[in-house]
Structures are given as structure tokens and as C-alpha cells.
Amino acid sequence: FPVTIRLVVYNHKKFTLVEFMKGNQSQVFVDSLYLHDPSIEKYLLSPSHQFFNIRHTEKHVLPPSFEVDSLTMLCPHKNYEPQNKIADTVEVLLLTRQAPYDPGPWLKNKTIRSAVITGAVGPRTAERWRSSLDSLRIPIHDMVIKGAFVYSPR
């Protein structure tokens, strides 16, 4: 059987925590201020790791864009300009507390399959993005309303 990759975006109002699980290994991406916070491991990761039998975890700072196992993520950041090297097709657009108010440059010339608005995004910024994403008919998962985001692309 092929090993399925799972993407989990944990619901927390102060920070963003993204985890990719494949087999018994995982890669965790988190806001830089919380990279070494022990409560993340204890309260968020430990329960899912026990459930999915995760034995090895690598932790990384959450970058503006990255790819894991050919799954491209875009995390718009107010202190960065979108780079041309970002793939034209993005599996998941992830909006964090660092999301810029203006979505325009980050959506330009991109095919986005789904968007996730985390609980850390301010209400005005979230509404602005929601409006732009709706106009492009991009499915939105609002974590304030729907809770954690779990996704298996295959």
C-alpha cells in the first residue's frame, strides 16, 4: 500500500502549527517564537503522534512558501514580497497572523486548490482575504468556525 501523507493545521489563536505526517515520521512547521515551546509538544503534537504512531519529528520555522512531498504550501507574510520562484499551482494557501492585509500580490497568477484561515488572523484581514478568495472561487476552511484542518491530497 502507498503511504499517505497527511497535512494537519492545528487550531490555536496565538500561533500557527502545521504538520506533515507520512508513515511514522513528521515534519512540523511553526512560528519562530514558538519553535522550542514545550507546551506545543505536550498539548498539541503528543495526542496526534500517539494516534498516528509518529516516531520521528523534525521541527522547522514556518516559511512564506515551502514544499513537502510535492505538496506546495503558500503562507503569505506581511514582511515579504511574493517570490517568482513560488510554484504556479499551490495546494494550500495558509493564512497566519503574519498575513498581509492586501491579498492581491500573493494571489496573482496562482492556481490555489484550497485556503485555510487560521484563528490567529485578525478579523479585518481575514474578511479581506475571504472576499478575494470567494471572488476566485477558492474553497476556504476557516479554523475559527470549523476547527483544525486535516487534509490528505492522495
According to the model, what pLDDT value does residue 3 have?
67
3-state secondary structure 95-109: ECCCCCCCCHHHHCC
Whole-prediction pTM: 0.86
**Long-range CB pairs of 84-90, under 8 A, 24+ apart, other chains included:** 86/110, 89/113, 90/65
Task: Show the CA angle centred on residue 9, arms to residues 3 and 11, nearest 5°.
Answer: 145
Amino acid identity of 49?
H
According to the model, what pLDDT value does residue 101 have?
92
Query: Tens place of pLDDT for every residue, the chain, 154 residues?
Result: 566 788 899 887 778 889 999 989 999 998 877 778 888 888 788 888 898 899 999 999 888 888 888 888 999 988 887 766 677 889 999 999 889 999 988 998 889 999 999 988 999 999 999 999 999 999 999 999 998 898 887 5
According to the model, what pLDDT value does residue 116 have?
96
The dihedrals phi and psi of 91, each to the nearest 5 degrees, come to -70, -50
**Residue 7 burial by Cβ neighbours in a 10 Å radius (0-12, 13-18, 19+):** buried
According to the model, what pLDDT value does residue 84 have?
65
The dihedrals phi and psi of 37, each to the nearest 5 degrees, come to -75, 120
The residues, ordered by sequence, that sit 6+ positions from 134 with a Cβ below 8 Å of its Cβ are 140
